[in-house]
């Protein structure tokens, strides 16, 4: 835990630590402190076949969005995707376009097809988001009031281009030691070198800065401290927002499939605007914390005085429901671990 974190009795720290202990996650929290990432194995991270259900749901989404069911065995449907630039698919001319708009040279996509905004596509993603293991580790890094910024499915077939090392933190260097964001990734097919899995620089979260270009390269002449993270399907990988990470290209046939839950402190810009935009039945069937995790305890930017009042009233309603159901206070001061 960062030294900058307050540990006063009512700060929320005690609650988060109790959740970590009750769930037997102490070792993983310790790895987050020491290495800046942790891999929670399938037997802990994916209760009740969660990962298998998520994988099927992702294949369904891809089929709906792209008109073709992904080929898990060969990965042909996602091989050598072009990079979407000005609407023109580059490189291999695959039917799909990889989505990495800032990259404009003649390479294929390092990330494959990234399908954004999937929370409402299948109920299993609510289950994945509210998995107590994910919530406890995300709260450990980003405080109890962290929220979902965006949920996406990443589907990568054989490709040529590695994904350079980077930090997910949105702030410029130097970065604070606290994690402002955390990527919580459900691994849905095995991660290893040949499958184009994750590469991480252990301990890089402590550097509190983004990598320089020469430090960001991976491969033979790349960053010597970068290691491949092996993880079985069903694992949950969590990393500190400052941690340098990327991925190798996929040399094996087949697809690398993952679902990312990008969790952020409440004051950080969100990738998706969820508050007020989720189906009421989704909120009704979940716990009061689901509403808060999906941004409903926050007030998005106001469009007018009346709109602002409406948004504050909406947030207050969901916070009150949470406090009533749990007997806990949700609001916090700025030195509070809830933030
Ligand atoms: Fe990243």
pLDDT in tens, 256-269: 999 999 999 999 99
Instruction: Determine if the peptide bond prior to 271 is cis (ω within 30°).
Output: no
Q: Which two tokens stand for residue 117?
A: 């905004």
Strand order from edge to edge, sheet including 256-264: 37-40, 236-240, 181-187, 256-264, 147-156, 113-116
pLDDT of residue 105: 56
303 CA from centroid of ligand 1 (Å): 32
Instruction: Judge contact between 295 and 147, C-beta under 8 A.
Output: yes
Note whether residue 3 is domain-resident: no
Which of 272, 297, 329 represents a domain boundary (last residue)?
272
Which of 219, 240, 272 is the last residue before a domain boundary? 272
Q: Identify which of 32-41, 78-87, 158-167 has the greatest average pLDDT.
A: 32-41
Are 137 and 229 contained in the same domain? yes
The phi, psi pair for 165, rounded to 5°, reads -65, 140
Judgement on whether residues 160 and 256 belong to the same structural domain of the protein: yes
The more confidently predicted of residues 189 and 89 is 189
Per-residue pLDDT at 62 exceeds 90: yes
316 has a pLDDT exceeding 80: yes
If asked whether residues 201 and 284 sit together in one domain, one would say no
The answer to which of 11-20, 179-188, 311-320 has the lowest mean pLDDT is: 11-20
94 vs 209: which has the higher pLDDT: 209
- What pLDDT does residue 250 have? 96
Distance 134 CA to ligand 1 centre (A): 17
pLDDT of residue 15: 83
Residue 244 domain flag: yes
Domain that holds residue 320: 274-339
For residue 99, the CA-to-ligand 1 centroid distance in Å is: 14
Please tell me the distance between residue 245's alpha carbon and the centre of ligand 1 in angstroms. Answer: 6
* Beta strands 97-98 and 82-83, pairing class: parallel
CA dihedral for 15, 42, 169, 151, sign (positive or negative):
negative
User: Does one domain contain both 198 and 321?
Assistant: no
For ligand 1, an ion, list residues with CB under 5 A.
168
Is residue 300 predicted with pLDDT exceeding 50? yes
Residue 303 lies in a domain: yes
Ligand 1 geometric centre to CA of 311 (Å)? 31
- One domain for residues 259 and 293: no
Residues 170 and 304 in one domain: no
Q: How far is the CA of 313 from the centre of ligand 1 (A)?
A: 35
- Return the ∠ at Cα 260 (arms to 258 and 263), rounded to 5°: 165
CA of 306 to the centre of ligand 1 (A): 38
Instruction: Give the Å distance between the CA of 199 and the centre of ligand 1.
Output: 10
- Per-residue pLDDT, averaged over 212-225, amounts to 94
* Residue recorded with tokens 């202990």: 21
Average pLDDT across the chain, whole number: 89
Residue 296 lies in a domain: yes
Q: What is the mean pLDDT of residues 29-51?
A: 97
Same domain, 267 and 278: no
Task: Dump pLDDT digits (tens) for 275-297.
Answer: 999 999 999 999 999 999 999 99
Number of domains in the chain: 2
Residue 242 CA to ligand 1 centre (angstroms): 10
- Same domain for 89 and 140? yes
Judge whether 4 lies within some domain.
Answer: no
User: Ligand 1 mean position to 259 CA, how many Å?
Assistant: 13
Q: Are residues 149 and 291 in the same domain?
A: no
How far apart, in Å, are the Cα atoms of 248 and each of 50, 89, 96, 155?
A: 26, 22, 20, 14
What is the pLDDT at residue 336? 65
Whether residue 1 is contained in a domain is answered as: no
Among the listed residues 104, 58, 49, the one whose alpha carbon sits nearest the alpha carbon of residue 77? 58
pLDDT, position 89:
41
Look at residue 155 in the predicted model and tell me its pLDDT.
95
Distance 280 CA to ligand 1 centre (A): 31
Question: Mean pLDDT, to the nearest integer, of 177-182?
Answer: 96
Rg (CA), the chain: 20
Q: Average of pLDDT values for 41-64?
A: 97
Q: What's the mean pLDDT in 17-29?
A: 96
Check whether residue 267 and residue 326 sit in a common domain. no
Q: What is the pLDDT of residue 312?
A: 94
Tell me the CA–centroid distance for residue 284 and ligand 1, in Å. 32
Q: Does one domain contain both 95 and 149?
A: yes
Vertex 182, ends 13 and 295: CA angle to 5°? Answer: 75
**166 Cα–ligand 1 center, Å:** 6
Please report how the helices 26-35 and 13-22 are oriented relative to each other, as an axis angle in degrees rounded to 10. 120
Residue 293: which of 239, 329, 242, 330 has the closest Cα?
330
Tell how far the Cα of 230 is from the centroid of ligand 1, in angstroms.
Answer: 17
Give the end of a domain, one of 246, 272, 298.
272
- Phi/psi of residue 303, nearest 5 degrees: -95, -20
In a domain, 242, yes or no: yes
> What is the C-alpha separation between 266 and 283, in angstroms, rounded?
19
Q: How many angstroms separate the alpha carbon of residue 204 from the centre of ligand 1?
A: 14
Q: How far is the CA of 291 from the centre of ligand 1 (A)?
A: 26
CA of 246 to the centre of ligand 1 (A): 7
CATH code of the domain covering residue 138? 2.60.120.620
Is pLDDT of 170 > 90?
Answer: yes
Q: Check if the beta carbon of residue 141 is closer than 8 Å to that of residue 205.
A: no
Question: From the CA of 153, how far away is ligand 1's center (Å)?
Answer: 13
In a domain, 226, yes or no: yes
CA of 168 relative to ligand 1 center, distance in Å? 5
Q: Are residues 203 and 322 in the same domain?
A: no
How far is the centre of ligand 1, averaged over its atoms, from the C-alpha of 169 (Å)? 9
């Amino acid at each position: 835990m960062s030294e900058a974190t307050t540990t006063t009795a009512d700060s929320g720290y005690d609650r988060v630590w109790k959740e970590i202990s009750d769930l037997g996650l102490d070792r993983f929290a310790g790895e987050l402190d020491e290495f800046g990432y942790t891999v929670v194995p399938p037997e802990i991270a994916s209760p009740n076949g969660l990962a298998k259900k998520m994988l099927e749901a992702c294949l369904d989404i891809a089929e709906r969005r792209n008109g073709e069911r992904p080929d898990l065995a060969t990965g042909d449907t996602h091989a050598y995707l072009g990079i979407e630039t000005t609407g023109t698919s580059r490189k291999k001319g695959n039917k799909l376009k990889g989505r990495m708009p800032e990259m404009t040279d003649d390479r294929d996509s390092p990330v494959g097809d990234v399908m954004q905004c999937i929370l409402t596509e299948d109920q299993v993603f609510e289950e994945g988001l509210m998995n107590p293991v994910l919530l406890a580790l995300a709260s450990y890094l980003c405080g109890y009031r962290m929220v979902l910024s965006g949920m996406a499915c990443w589907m990568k077939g054989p490709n040529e281009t590695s994904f350079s090392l980077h930090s997910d933190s949105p702030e410029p260097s130097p970065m604070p030691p606290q994690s402002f964001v955390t990527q919580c990734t459900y691994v849905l097919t095995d991660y290893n070198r040949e499958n184009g899995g994750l590469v991480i620089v252990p301990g890089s979260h402590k550097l509190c800065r983004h990598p320089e270009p020469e430090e960001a390269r991976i491969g033979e002449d790349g960053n010597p401290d970068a290691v491949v993270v092996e993880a079985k399907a069903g694992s949950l990988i969590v990393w500190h927002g400052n941690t340098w990470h990327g991925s190798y290209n996929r040399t094996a046939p087949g697809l690398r499939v993952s679902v990312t839950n990008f969790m952020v402190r409440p004051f950080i810009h969100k990738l998706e605007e969820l508050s007020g935009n989720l189906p009421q039945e989704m909120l009704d069937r979940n716990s009061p914390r689901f509403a808060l995790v999906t941004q409903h305890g926050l007030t998005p930017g106001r469009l007018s005085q009346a709109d602002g009042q409406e948004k504050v009233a909406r947030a207050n309603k969901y916070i009150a429901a949470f406090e009533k159901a749990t007997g806990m206070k949700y609001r916090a001061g700025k030195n509070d671990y809830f933030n």
